[in-house]
């Protein structure tokens, strides 16, 4: 039995919808749109769809240690963003 391709995709994000009548007000959305119109009424157990934007969400991010530019506190940052510029801890970022 196939499961929904979107359930394990990194592009699927939870969106807070204050207008929605849903009890929790959270819906799932993809930045590229869903692969089919039928995804809004998905029966996850019988999905046969494929998607050209699919990226597996099971990958672990590579992290490195950086220091806050202002206070020197050590921070864990994503390694694939090498040329990101100065790194600030949340407190220094809000006070800059």
Per-position pLDDT tens, the chain of length 96: 567 777 777 777 777 766 655 556 667 778 887 777 777 677 667 777 788 877 777 666 677 888 999 999 999 887 665 566 888 999 999 987
Going by C-alpha positions, the residue among 28, 30, 27 that lies closest to residue 55 is: 30
Which pLDDT score is estimated for 70? 93
Report if residue 76 sits inside a domain.
Answer: yes
Question: What is the pTM (predicted TM-score) of this model?
Answer: 0.43
Report if residue 17 sits inside a domain.
Answer: yes
**Helix/strand/coil percent split, the chain, to 5:** 20, 25, 60
What is the number of structural domains in the chain? 2
Report if residue 73 sits inside a domain.
Answer: yes
Clarify whether residues 37 and 12 are in a common domain: yes
Which pLDDT score is estimated for 2? 67
Q: What is the dihedral of CA 19, 17, 50, 46, to 10 degrees?
A: -70
Report if residue 51 sits inside a domain.
Answer: no
Report if residue 55 sits inside a domain.
Answer: no
Rg (CA), the chain: 19
Which pLDDT score is estimated for 49? 78
Residue-number span of the structural domain to which 32 is assigned: 5-46
Clarify whether residues 72 and 39 are in a common domain: no
Q: Identify the residue whose tokens are 């998607």.
A: 51
């Amino acid at each position: 039995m196939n499961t929904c391709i979107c359930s394990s995709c990194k592009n699927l994000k939870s969106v807070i919808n204050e207008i929605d009548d849903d009890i929790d007000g959270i819906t799932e959305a993809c930045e590229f749109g869903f692969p089919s119109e039928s995804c809004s009424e998905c029966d996850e157990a019988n999905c046969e769809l494929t998607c050209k934007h699919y990226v597996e969400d099971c990958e672990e991010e590579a992290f490195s240690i950086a220091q806050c530019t202002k206070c020197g506190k050590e921070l864990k940052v994503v390694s694939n963003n090498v040329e990101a510029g100065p790194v600030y801890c949340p407190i220094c970022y809000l006070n800059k």
